[in-house]
Structure 1
């Protein structure tokens, strides 16, 4: 912390946060969550607990004349046994919607994950500080986007001028999106570089990102949370995690999709609702899951994944990406007769086979930073353009 300024400390409250569905009080400060407490109580899966507490799309938003901002946080760093160290999470600071600076917080708590044994061990740590300077000395909107892939407990916000919340005048529409680790932002370079964040910026909307790494499993508690969140535009990206986890067969998948959409519609009967099928992923196009780490690559210092299912098992209802795409298209077409605001998007329009030849999925599952940008730009053109499901005249 710099001492040559007069600092104002502002409590971090829900008024200053966007993109979080719940705010947990801790001994040090607050921890944003992307699932409400009731939903978290219904599932104790550690993967989901980790994913929903990683604040993808969550940002502090305020107005101030401050030229310097400091944020104290306690991050939780992930360490995978045998794999190279992960980079520190990135904080993006925007001034009036434009990226002004980036920073990271070193240290913090660590969560060591052993993929060979399936165990995890957490060690507590101490908070650190991310500092931003050189902000223009005028009244402005400031946003601090928290690291999309690093659980972040907020302990103190300091500025060299007072801050006030930005009043929500509802000029910008709210886009609520649910999906897997790709929507969460795996392998994106920074929190405003995930494909949903990019699309939201280009589309001029406020994002609530319910993309959960490994957690897009048509869970009823997720659909209920989406039902209860105020939103103008809604999308659900369905598929890859159901194959990854080998969670259900086709017989269970079809009614689960219907049930998920029914629940979302209870709270949003007339909002544009876009169902997105999986992007291209050679690993599981025709081969079922489950997905497993490739320990050969891990021993070589890289983390890659492999499909362990048998393509012949499709005959017994095992899910592949091809099977899911076909069934989602059928379900949306069937429901659209009674739901004129329901839409479908083939995920391969965001990232297809030709794209994979030029920009392959480095670990077999996740797009890199450049591919996130490609997907965000394509989604904007497909969804937010005039006549698109989220555009003027679309619904």
Structure 2
């Protein structure tokens, strides 16, 4: 039996969240601030920003046992096999030491064909890690990247104190579901988390599934968040949603970058275009779900002929993003561009195809993370100078 010590969950032991909401159960980490959430009317973004990708508890302790009470909200898609429970990663002094899940919780049932969702309330659960190495150490508990998680209580068998700031640079990243971590094996192995570990930086991940849409409130959140390094990976969601045409895209990108620069005028800023996605390279959106044989896949529902009237494809977006960055870089030497196909291109698709035609699998997340780190964090890279 352990003599448990309960430690309040506060901002000084939580990293990667921009806001903490007090709920009837505990604390709900958010990856957009309250002002941004108040300006959002989209249920997909509301769900995505409340899923704690990159959010982790970080503390120093001599504890050999840790318990965490949480209330998860799990997703269930009509016509698709049930999703596995969200995974928590336990790291001790930077090394992955344990993994676990919390069963039960709320269930959000989503019908992708009708766009409707229904919430079924559930009960909290307890996560337990035992047999941790003895002695003082830094413990990190990475929350499930794809499961909204209310934090209720933290218990240990030895006192806890906030981990000291090690002076590492803070990398602020914004992107789509791929940056959010869709289909990654676990929260510490999404490609941004893996790249951050290779680069030796602190990650704040504002990758939002389905929601990298050049929203002004997201740009303001990036502007107002502490960062030593910033990257934005944009393009695929604008095609998925068939949200805008080229006439609107170009000034929207300029406005997004202008807003970030208001708060970070000289911070290294890397614009990353989409990775290869064959269904949308030359065919516009929207992306439509295909539930054939009980497996969720996606198809491009647009007409290639509509490119002539300004419909966006990934080829169009890459060309325009590169042009915009080259134009702006004449007056902004800290602005850089990376073609996403250098992270995942045609040869990668042949070896590691996208299982649902949109999202990379776990092995591909690691590859993208390795390549991003090799490009960005090396001595001559945009984040290594």
Structure 2 length-normalised TM: 0.99
* Counterpart-to-counterpart distance in 1, 2:110 and 2:244: 26
What is the aligned partner in structure 1 of residue 340 from structure 2? 347
* Counterpart-to-counterpart distance in 2, 1:252 and 1:280: 23
Matches within 5 A, 1:74-153: 74-153=71-150
Deviations 1:199-236 (A, max 9, x none): 00000000000000000000000000000001000000
* Counterpart-to-counterpart distance in 2, 1:347 and 1:314: 21
* Counterpart-to-counterpart distance in 1, 2:174 and 2:226: 14
Deviations 1:326-348 (A, max 9, x none): 00000000000000000000000
Matched residue SS, 2:110: strand
What is the aligned partner in structure 1 of residue 363 from structure 2? 370
* Counterpart-to-counterpart distance in 1, 2:285 and 2:93: 44
* Counterpart-to-counterpart distance in 2, 1:309 and 1:81: 24
Query: Is 1:239–2:232 an aligned residue pair?
Result: no
Query: Is 1:318–2:314 an aligned residue pair?
Result: no
Deviations 1:128-149 (A, max 9, x none): 0111011111111100000000
Shift of 1:34: 0.2
What is the aligned partner in structure 2 of residue 213 from structure 1? 209
Which of 373, 376, 380 matches 1:383?
A: 376
Shift of 1:44: 2.0
Query: Is 1:26–2:23 an aligned residue pair?
Result: yes
Shift of 1:85: 0.5
Shift of 1:168: 2.3
Matched residue SS, 2:332: coil
What is the aligned partner in structure 2 of residue 264 from structure 1? 260
Query: Is 1:309–2:302 an aligned residue pair?
Result: yes
What is the aligned partner in structure 2 of residue 54 from structure 1? 51
Q: Structure 2: which 5+ residue stretches go unaligned?
A: none
* Counterpart-to-counterpart distance in 1, 2:360 and 2:245: 26
What is the aligned partner in structure 2 of residue 357 from structure 1? 350
What is the aligned partner in structure 1 of residue 70 from structure 2? 73
Q: CA RMSD in A?
A: 0.6
* Counterpart-to-counterpart distance in 2, 1:137 and 1:355: 43
* Counterpart-to-counterpart distance in 2, 1:166 and 1:201: 17
Shift of 1:167: 2.5
Shift of 1:82: 1.1
Shift of 1:301: 1.5
Q: Structure 1: which 5+ residue stretches go unaligned?
A: none
* Counterpart-to-counterpart distance in 1, 2:241 and 2:114: 17
Deviations 1:361-385 (A, max 9, x none): 0001000000000000000100001
Matched residue SS, 2:294: coil
* Counterpart-to-counterpart distance in 1, 2:115 and 2:132: 45
Shift of 1:71: 0.4
Deviations 1:277-332 (A, max 9, x none): 0000001000000011013x2xx120000111000100000000000000000000
Shift of 1:22: 0.3
* Counterpart-to-counterpart distance in 1, 2:184 and 2:148: 16
What is the aligned partner in structure 2 of residue 187 from structure 1? 183
Deviations 1:61-112 (A, max 9, x none): 0000000000000001100011001000000000011111000001100000
Aligned pair count reads 385
